[in-house]
Amino acid sequence: MTHKATSLFLILCSLFLSSQAQPDRWQQRVKYKMNVDVDVNSNKFTGKQVLAYSNNSTDKLDRVFYHLYWNAFQPGSSMDVRSQELGKISIGGKPDWDTRVKDRIANLKPEEIGYQKIISLKMNGVPQPFKYHETILEVNLTKPILPKTTVTFEMEFEAQVPLQIRRSGRDNPKTNVRYSISQWYPKMCEYDYEGWHPTPYVAREFYGVWGDFDVTINIDKTYKIGGTGVLVNANEIGWGYDKPGTELKPTAKDKRSWHFVGNNIHDFVWAADPEYKHLVRKMPGNGPVIHVIYNFIPDSPGNDSAWERLADAAVKVLPFIEKNFGKYPYPQYSFLHGGDGGMEYAMATLIHTPGLGTAFHEWTHSWFQMILGTNESLYPWMDEGFTDYGETIETAFYEGKTEKQKLRDTFAIKPDKKGLKEQLATLPENHPSAYNSYYSLARSNFEEPLSTHADHFNTNTGYSIASYSKGAVFLEQLGYIVGASVRDKILLEYYNRWKFKHPNANDFMKVAQDVSGLQLDWYKQYWVNSIKTIDYSIDNLWEENGLSNIRFKRIGLMPMPIDVQITFKDGTTEMHTIPLNLMFGNKKQETTGEKFIVENEWKWTHPTYTISLKANLKDIKKVEIDPSKRLADVDQKNNVLELNW
């Protein structure tokens, strides 16, 4: 074969083997066709939904469940009561409630609440009995859905848009956006290998069924809309959808119909306002179209330029995201001004400001939630934590400096009144904020295992730091265990193997083990399923029989491999890596130009470990455990030994 032919053959073989390695996990499938009619005066809309539901499982389904999220925005709801109960807990002198929710639901007037009401529901033309459980609709079917069959549900429903409180709603004075319409339609709950997941809407995250969405929104003709999917009647609408910079096309009708289609997604969001502005960016080649849709905010100088910057930043950052996490598979993505912070949805996000950190974070959810689709209620750290990790490296790429470098620059021009510069020395170059937050949580009384259900954390503080920060540390520390370049390969293989398949924690760990060649189940057991902490120390140093001996001690209850750097008087260094016996192997050298020594494994049952050097004791200048600071050691004061002979 020629060189090119050989390369092509190897590529084809690689693709074949990769496809052979794909996990075989069935997925249910949905196909929504929805048409809604919005009354902007009453803030209500009526809708018709035709849902083709494919039962790809081997199980007979005697009932189905729908989410009715907006029923949470009523006084006395689970979301209302839970928020007020958490508000009774004081952390740092402040109530531990979500500051966006507080007790606001309890004070909603009838015209301000949200609701979703089912007018009628049929399966294959036959009316079905249903029962409300606040934000969950239970449908006990008159005839079961057999395995490997598809049925059609026809539904008529009515909804009232709640005043903006959490994620979805109307008339948020901070954004001036009229409608942020998320979690707005009766949504089929997920049924997977574990069974049904009719998770009530109390506070946290979501889980959905992949499928195709065909949505038509009829609304007052003065309104402009951005949302999930491709606008298929762009020539009729104009407003930059047909060609960048065009105006909204006139119509003699009182209402305009916006027709969006999105395929292989598991949710749909849209936002509407008469004053919206629209920026469009096209990625080179066959890349997606990026829409930035935002509202004018009075007395906000630079508002337009900030949104322009976001649009340009998205173009710059997307190739970096794809290189690290996998290719973006959809034809478009929309940044929609709205909501109450940042909230991710399929092919779009709601963001309340043009801040790049928030934008990068929500966009990265497209990979870890919209494409991989973990059950966020059970594994919030696999979405929020991995996304937090991605946001940090994307921001560093965009700005040309790490988060730690930015903090060092800040301390160089501002007085360090709180002693943070000294604290910074204990944190890694990447993700220092995540590590610092985790350390605070580990030293508090609020930490709970990452395996805790998202809605069942005892505090908002405990949930937030665990899911976001400890989840991000999980990945950075994984790089410490297996090597950063290997960790990066793990993330790409994770995407390739599990996209559109709802992976769980064990699925990720299996990928990590396959790519690294190391056993890593212990890491999940300790870091995810427990709150045991890492703490190692340099215990003793002595010379005996011509050898210099250094003894280390494990103080914390979580065992880890440890890297030890030894600096000699002549300025040379050695990196000694001590594998944990549970790994059945060791990481390879990460840096060049330094002697790298793999020591014998440290048995997790043994509290101490000694390494011996063929060197005079007085030739050693410094011994340091993990100079990279990626090991999440909760007490680093005993990690460095300076020798002044």
**pLDDT tens digits, residue range 144-201?**
999 999 999 999 999 999 999 999 999 999 999 999 999 999 999 999 999 999 999 9
pLDDT digits (tens, 9 = 90+) for 504-562: 999 999 999 999 999 999 999 999 999 999 999 999 999 999 999 999 999 999 999 99
Residue 21 belongs to some domain of the structure = no
Residue 17 has pLDDT above 50, yes or no: no
Among 44-53, 272-281, 421-430, 472-481, the range scoring the smallest mean pLDDT is 421-430
Based on the domain organization, do 450 and 520 belong to the same domain?
yes
Based on the domain organization, do 490 and 543 belong to the same domain?
no
Q: Which residue has the higher pLDDT, 284 or 439?
A: 439
User: For residue 571, how many C-alpha atoms fall within 13 Å in the half-sphere facing its CB?
Assistant: 1
Residue range 336-347: mean pLDDT, rounded: 97
Residue range 406-415: mean pLDDT, rounded: 85
Residue 635 has pLDDT above 80, yes or no: yes
Residue 205 belongs to some domain of the structure = no
571: CATH: 2.60.40
Q: Residue 415 has what pLDDT?
A: 73
Residue type, 372: L
Q: Which residues contact 425 (CB under 8 A, 6 or more apart)?
A: none
Residue range 559-567: mean pLDDT, rounded: 98
Tell which residue, 614, 606, 549, 546, has the closest CA to residue 582. Answer: 606
Residue 157 belongs to some domain of the structure = no
Residue range 78-103: mean pLDDT, rounded: 97
pLDDT averaged over every residue in the chain: 95
Residue 623 belongs to some domain of the structure = yes
pLDDT digits (tens, 9 = 90+) for 371-386: 999 999 999 999 999 9
Q: Which residue has the higher pLDDT, 416 or 2?
A: 416
Based on the domain organization, do 410 and 518 belong to the same domain?
yes
Q: Which residue has the higher pLDDT, 409 or 161?
A: 161
Residue 417 has pLDDT above 80, yes or no: no
Residue 596 belongs to some domain of the structure = yes
Q: Which residue has the higher pLDDT, 274 or 25?
A: 274
Percent of the chain whose pLDDT exceeds 70: 96
pLDDT band at 301 (very low <50, low <70, confident <90, very high): low
Based on the domain organization, do 516 and 615 belong to the same domain?
no
- Concatenated DSSP letters for 236-256? HHBTTSSSTTPPBPP-SSSEE
Q: Where are the alpha helices (DSSP H) in 88-173?
A: none
Residue 420 has pLDDT above 60, yes or no: yes
Percent of the chain whose pLDDT exceeds 90: 91
pLDDT digits (tens, 9 = 90+) for 258-294: 999 999 999 999 999 999 999 999 999 889 999 999 9
Number of domains in the chain: 2
Residue 298 belongs to some domain of the structure = no
Q: Residue 21 has what pLDDT?
A: 52
Q: Residue 300 has what pLDDT?
A: 72
Residue 12 has pLDDT above 80, yes or no: no
Q: Would strands 90-91 and 61-67 be described as parallel, antiparallel, or unpaired?
A: unpaired
Residue 199 belongs to some domain of the structure = no
Separation CA 225–CA 245 (nearest Å):
15
Separation CA 390–CA 524 (nearest Å):
20
Tell which of 478, 497, 527 closes a domain: 527
Based on the domain organization, do 508 and 571 belong to the same domain?
no
Tell which of 500, 527, 554 closes a domain: 527
Separation CA 528–CA 643 (nearest Å):
38
Based on the domain organization, do 546 and 523 belong to the same domain?
no
Residue range 72-76: mean pLDDT, rounded: 98
Q: Residue 320 has what pLDDT?
A: 98
Q: Residue 298 has what pLDDT?
A: 74
Residue type, 510: K
Residue 497 belongs to some domain of the structure = yes
Q: Which residues contact 136 (CB under 8 A, 6 or more apart)?
A: 65, 66, 67, 68, 189, 198, 199, 200
Q: Residue 482 has what pLDDT?
A: 98
Tell which of 496, 527, 558 closes a domain: 527
Separation CA 342–CA 451 (nearest Å):
24
Separation CA 559–CA 605 (nearest Å):
9
Based on the domain organization, do 624 and 576 belong to the same domain?
yes
pLDDT band at 22 (very low <50, low <70, confident <90, very high): low
What domain range includes position 607?
A: 536-642
